[in-house]
Structure 1
Amino acid sequence: MDPRSEVVIRQHEYLSGRVLLANAPTDDLLSNLGNDIETQVWTWNFNEYQYFQNQQANVHFGVDVPESPFDQAIIFVPKSKELLNYLLHNIVSRLSEGASIFLVGEKKAGVERAAKQLQPFGKSIKLDSARHCQMWQLTLDKTVQAKSLADWAQQYNVATPNGDLTICALPGVFSQNRLDVGTAVLLPYLSQVTSGKIADFGCGAGVISAYLAKLNPKNRIFAMDVDAFALESTRMTFAQNKLAPEQLEIKAVTGIEDAPLFLHAIVSNPPFHQGIKTDYNASENLCKTSRRHLKSGGELWIVANRFLNYPILIEQNFGQCTTKADQQGFKVLFANTQKK
């Protein structure tokens, strides 16, 4: 069991009524809480959503707080400070004065720093410190009005051959404040991508998706990500730039196996983090299995850290891999399926 869950179980007497668990670990925590507690899980990670569904848990996937009422909330500290601010603000807006919010996290994940973010909402005390984790209790002495989702988005501009794009990125989304180096290295090559039905795997704030849509209004983009905040950011980016809604299909995925078939191209700055942990599974599977989602003559375009073994994996599965660029620590890799 996750040590954060063990700390919650140790302090279960503080829990009562309807309890919302935000960003909960995928373990047996729910079955170890008392029968007098009615739990609801809020996650924005599609893998975790499917895990809790399989557990027959009451689970909500999305960027908004679940609509059903709750009396208390437990927030498991996310990686992003901005995302924690978002969670706190929105959960506080649904509770009344005197209600409790519990914050749980590992010391190495910054739980002590995160606990300081409780201060604007009331008095907080440390309930427990064990298994390299801490659990804090916030007692609300105020409530707040929820803000619109757009108020939480950061914006920055990206140049394209057809004019600038305004990127909208919500809290916790990769590269929220500026264009990341890897994507910047890839963008000049997007004009070489074959047009048609294109998947952007790990779409983030929608930079690649919007760039491809702006390059060619005939492109149909499948923006895919595990993270609901990324998917919503991509939707906001398309709306902000007045790109045709029919060009975009948003798809929550667990991996490339959920991509459509018969794609003309797959383009990706592939993800390699799950929370604070490094995880190359999704991006390695992309290299190994994306071929089966492409039409004959379909293309794979990836930008990745220079040190990763993606060229070998791509070559093993496509028969060839071309390095289109090697700069600033990143490689732009290209492969295609052989036309019959």
Structure 2
Amino acid sequence: MTASGFSAAAPDTALAALFVPFELGHLHLPSDGRVLFLRARAGVRLRVMAQPAWLCEQGFMPFADELGRCGLHVGEASVGELFPLVLILPPRQRDEARALFARALQHTAPGGTVLVSMPNAEGAKSGEADLVKLAGAVQHLSKHKCRVFWTTPTADSVDHELLTQWLALDAPRETDDGFVSRPGLFAWNRIDPASALLAAHLPADLRGRVADLGAGYGYLATQIIARCPQVSSIDLYEAEARALEPARINLTRAQQASGRDVEIAVHWHDVTRGLPRRYDAIVSNPPFHQGRADLPELGRAFITSAADALGPEGRLWLVANRHLPYEAILAARFHHVTTVTTQDGFKVIEANGVRP
């Protein structure tokens, strides 16, 4: 674990499998050393293989920070920038993965290769079928319970109409609930029931400067603006960069609907590393897992950061799965801790009176 509480190591199997085609001689690194790595993750194999000209894209701040600490170049490819090799560790969410495949083809130089590694349990066969549909024939191998597949697309083999369609899959879109989101975000196409429960119990007398930690596409913050007329400003903190644009849109809409001059700001930030300013109130539906693994220390880190950022009379409102063991850290950091409600497997907690 890193200091931030997130596991810094890549899914070791997927990252190790990604480089097997080079070890077996099926592929060779480009002579000019230029490689684009989409959704890159730090790990031993990457540190061994990477060269100074590699560009690693990673929108989740804790993972991007870890890549930087490993001495890797982290950033985004420019429009029209082409690479002889594009590596991908795709996400589970299929629309997000399809958009990533389309982006990879946009940045692949003529004669270049797109190389993908996916765990078998996370849709690897479907991912390979999607790349075939988009780019033409692929080669593949299996290793470490992962499927590794690659293609060298040509102008004739690429389905350009499908490419355009799949690029659009990553654009922010309005969901049936009236919020703007995008595939792959937490509860991206629905209102998360835990967040809805917390919103329903937020007191109308929240006031002053408020922060929403781990805000996602901004649902909770919109409810604060709608339900708490004495809130003068709200800061959203979210570690996933893809959530920021939808959050800004949703907050702007909520501010306009309220008819009040609420100051709003959206920050790409790892909450577990602390907050840059102090607040009168903080709300959060903190993350408690990474992938399929429960990591309650994430929620505890959020609580610690919240306590450090609240004034003496500040209030923390959070929601969590009922089984998560947050009571000890809450009691250690606050004089008063109240379970406001338990419902449908969730608990809503108010804490105030920050302990020094």
**TM-score range relative to shorter protein:** 0.7 to 0.9
The secondary structure found in structure 2 opposite 1:282 is: helix
Show the counterpart of 1:268.
284
Shift of 1:3: 2.4
Aligned-partner residue type, residue 4 of structure 1:
A
* CA gap 1:172/1:330 in 2 versus in 1, 3 angstroms: same
User: SS at 1:321's partner residue?
Assistant: strand
Report how far residue 335 of structure 1 moved: 0.6
Q: Tell me the SS of whatever aligns to 1:71.
A: strand
Contact persistence 2:47–2:70 (CA under 8 A): no
Partner in structure 1 of residue 320 of structure 2: 304
Structure 1 CA distance, aligned partners of 2:233 and 2:151?
A: 47
Q: CA deviation at 1:128?
A: 2.2
**1:284 to partner: Cα distance:** 1.2
Q: What is the distance in 1 between the residues matched to 2:101 and 2:61?
A: 21
Q: Which sections of structure 1, spanning at least 5 residues, go unmatched?
A: 158-165
Aligned residue number for residue 89 of structure 2: 76
SS in 2 for 1:307: coil
Q: In 2, distance between residues paired with 1:280 and 1:339?
A: 22
Of residues 66, 74, 77, the one that matches 1:59 is: 74
SS at the partner of 1:264? strand
Task: Check the 8 A contact 1:209/1:221 in 2, yes or no.
Answer: yes
Matches within 5 A, 1:282-293: 282-293=298-309
Contact 1:30 1:39 in 2 (8 A): no
1:98, distance to aligned residue in structure 2 (A): 5.0
Does the Cα contact within 8 Å between 1:77 and 1:111 map onto a contact in 2?
no
Instruction: Give the drift of 1:126.
Output: 4.1
Match of 1:6 in 2: 16
User: How far 1:298 moved relative to its partner?
Assistant: 0.2
Q: Hey, what's the Cα distance between the residues in 2 that align with 1:122 and 1:339?
A: 58
Q: Provide the secondary structure at the position in 2 that maps to 1:319.
A: strand
How far apart in 2 are the matches of 1:153 and 1:208? 18
TM-score, length basis structure 2: 0.82
The aligned counterpart of 1:208 is 220
Q: Is this contact kept in 2: 1:156–1:168, CA < 8 A?
A: no
- 1:51 partner amino acid: E
CA positional deviation for 1:193: 5.4
Opposite residue 230 of structure 1, the aligned amino acid is: A
Alpha carbons of 1:222 and 1:230: their partners in 2 closer, same or farther (altered >3 Å)?
Answer: same
1:189 aligns with 2:201: yes
Q: Distance in 1 between matches of 2:102 and 2:118?
A: 18
Q: Which blocks of at least 5 consecutive residues in structure 2 are unaligned? A: 1-8
Query: 1:113 is matched with which residue: 123, 126, 129?
Result: 126
1:155 corresponds to which residue? 175
**Do the aligned residues in 2 keep the contact of 1:261 with 1:295 (CA within 8 Å)?**
no
Partner-residue secondary structure (3-state), 1:219: strand
C-alpha distance 291-218 of structure 1, shift in aligned 2 (>3 A): closer
Calculate the TM-score normalised by the size of structure 1.
0.86
Change (3 A) 1:217 1:323: closer
CA RMSD of aligned residues (A): 2.8
Contact 1:199 1:265 survives alignment (8 Å): yes
